[in-house]
Chain A
Amino acid sequence: MTNLDLSKPTSDAAPAGTPLLDVDDLRVEFRTRTGTVHAVNGVSYSLAAGETLAILGESGSGKSVSAQAIMGILETPPAVISGGGIWFEGRNVLEMSAEDQRKVRGPGISMIFQDALSSLNPVYSVGFQIGEMFRAHRGMSRKEARKRAVELMDRVRIPAAARRVDDYPHQFSGGMRQRVMIAMAIALDPRILIADEPTTALDVTVQAQVMDLLKDLQRETGMGLILITHDLGVVNEVADNVAVMYAGEIVERGTVDDVFTRPAHPYTEGLMGSVPQVEAKGGRLQPIAGQPPNLARIPSGCPFHPRCARRRLGAEAAPGRECSTDVPPLRLVVPGREAACHYSEEVLGVRAP
């Protein structure tokens, strides 16, 4: 299932067997009157058909912004895509005309959002909003579109779909609303579905149902799934690969099993330590000290160094690996694993090369 070729340098051109999506050195800034906020600073990843890539990070780590850049729905201004490329099926989305970009949204790449209540228009029935996909992209009549909407609502397992198609979003429960969002997003069989915190606003039992539904749909259609979340449990259950973001950069990535069992970056290590675990029952949780950085003033060197328990400053540091001055590149640490830390080998407990 995992087609992500992690041994290649991240900034290279598309690898063999062109991936569905290739994000290369993406940079997004928000230019405001009070200064420039660097939300995404050189993010690269690729996604293959049928793959589930989790992008993990705190609020403000740039995970949603990079997804919105891929969708082409960033508000510009204030946002500016200041560098990099986004290749979808071999075409650079950023160089497409606005109209071509629009045609990718829906049948090519689709997206669901965290809060389904505010993400659905309150004044139109759910059937109408799902049907809009067919009307806008396939030129279907309103009546046909409504019929397709019922089929889709059935497909995402909304009970009594035919009866509820003309109901409004506020008449549905949270889980059902998210299913409506999913029905809308998969209406045109997209190649890629980006799910931006799809379960954060739902209660736990419903979360599992929604994730199961997403996985089932992925199995049926073979679409690539980008799962943006800060929920480690969800990542562990459904994702193949994970990219951990911090301060607008990917600081570590690899397969979920590897990253979760043996983190190679102190930030990932910190995340794992702050999650309650059954084996460690009774022990204290170890929060990461400090606050995520202000993206208008990202710390010099490694952006994580002010909070890092393993940082080496001044004379302690190896030459060229001073944490507050030398920027650690995202590099291959062990096969299948990249991390942006000068001392990843130490974190992993392997011998430095």
Chain B
Amino acid sequence: MGRYIARRLLLTIPVLIGASFLIFALVYALPGDPIRALGGDRPLAPAVVAELRDEFNLDDPLPVQYVKYLGDLVQGDFGTDFRGREVIDTIEQRLPVTIRLTIVAIAIETVIGIIAGLLAGIRRNGFLDNLVLVSSTIVVAIPILVLAFVAQYVLGVKAGWFPIAGITEGWYSYLLPGLVLASGSLAYVARLTRTSVAENLRADYVRTARAKGLPNRTVITRHTLRNSLIPVVTFIGADIGTLMGGAIVTETVFNLPGIGRAVFDSVQAQEGAVVVGIVTLMVFFFIFFNLVVDVLYAVLDPRIRYD
């Protein structure tokens, strides 16, 4: 297992290099001049422009720019933006916000999704099963932008139960945005768990568990749920990677200074170093959580061995 993990971690290096180059090239290809945009309405002096262009290697061809960037990166230097702010500082400031939002969203989709899916799967075609079906269809059909505004207006402004925006109230500020962010995945987790539980309940080993005279609770939790969670864990693990990449819409509507917002703003400002730094980090998270899922897989299902 250890060797497998080591091999997988080593494999992330070429992936990260490829991904960062791709992003670098995309930022390079953006139209417009980021340095001229810095001055706003007032044009910068030609000497200043030339100096900045030189400092950020903007006049070099793409491969040269990239190699210079990579050279700094392997020394742990993420570079600076055009205003001289260290990219690593931006990440340090923004990442905790996104991590908290991700934790809240994943907790909501895991706990509510699995419980709802389990109950729906046990009583197929019952009231809760239909409720899960209908509500998850609705949630999936509504764009997250609409959902975010409705939740903000109804639960935040009208009812006053949640803070409307910002992160001034600690973890509590993340509850509503977390719920909005989780809604789509929550519906999916519930449906996935439901299908998996319904299928496993018909499995021969569940019949055996009943024939053994095990109490119903044991039959459900130990012999049905555990086996049913294997596909669900896969999905949730991949979802952590996705959510760590930031949720631009949710972060914007609820004014959370997270990493998604940071990427969005820096793409607009053509801040190459910021975009590449953050997106490469996102790619790493994505790969990392996929690895975690694969390892968890072997823990949940002893038939899977990576040796």
Contacts and interface: CB of A to CB of B under 8 A. Distances in A.
Interface of A: 71-73, 75, 102-107, 110-111, 113, 115, 118-125, 132-133, 136-137, 168, 170, 181, 184
B33 to A, nearest CB: 59
A186 to B, nearest CB: 12
Nearest to B229: A123
A133 B303 contact: no
B171 interface: no
B12 interface: no
Contacts of B15: none
A73 to B, nearest CB: 5
Interface string B196-225: 000000111101111111111010001100
Contact of A132 (B203, B212, B302): B212
A119 B207 contact: yes
Interface of B: 202-205, 207-216, 218, 222-223, 226-227, 300-303
B136 to A, nearest CB: 25
A125 B222 CA distance: 13
A103 B213 CA distance: 6
Contact of A120 (B208, B215, B222): B208
Contact of A105 (B210, B223, B302, B303): B210
Contacts of A168: 302-303
Contacts of A71: 210-211
Contacts of A105: 210-213
A123 B300 contact: yes
A136 B215 contact: yes
A165 to B, nearest CB: 14
13 contacts: A102-B216, A104-B213, A118-B205, A121-B208, A122-B205, A122-B227, A123-B227, A123-B300, A123-B301, A132-B214, A168-B302, A168-B303, A170-B302
Contacts, number: 72
Contact of A122 (B209, B214, B216, B302): B302
Nearest to A130: B212
Contacts of B300: 123
Interface centre among B203, B212, B216 (most CB of A within 10 A): B212
B227 A73 contact: no
A156 B210 CA distance: 22
Contacts of A104: 213
Nearest to A73: B210
Nearest to A184: B212
A75 B211 CA distance: 12
Contact of B218 (A106, A115, A136): A136
B88 to A, nearest CB: 43
B302 A123 contact: yes
A136 B212 contact: yes
A50 B303 CA distance: 39
A133 B209 CA distance: 10
Given A110-B211, A125-B302, A136-B212, 5 more contacts: A73-B207, A73-B210, A122-B303, A123-B300, A123-B302
Given A111-B211, A168-B303, A184-B212, A118 B218 contact: no
A102 B208 contact: no
B126 to A, nearest CB: 12
B226 A118 contact: no
B211 A102 contact: no
A105 B211 CA distance: 6
B292 to A, nearest CB: 19
A349 B214 CA distance: 51
Contacts of B214: 102, 132, 136
B207 A122 contact: no
B11 to A, nearest CB: 28
State the 7 A-B residue pairs at the shortest beta-carbon distance, nearest first: A105-B213, A106-B213, A118-B204, A121-B205, A119-B204, A73-B210, A168-B302
Contacts of A132: 212, 214, 218
Nearest to A170: B303
Contacts of B223: 121
B223 to A, nearest CB: 6
Interface centre among A72, A73, A133 (most CB of B within 10 A): A73
Interface centre among B204, B209, B300 (most CB of A within 10 A): B204
Nearest to A110: B211
A122 B301 contact: yes
Interface centre among B213, B214, B216, B223 (most CB of A within 10 A): B213
Contacts of B301: 122-123
Contact of B212 (A106, A123, A170): A106
Given A121-B223, A122-B301, A168-B303, A137 B213 contact: yes
A113 B215 contact: no
Given A168-B303, A170-B303, A118 B211 contact: no
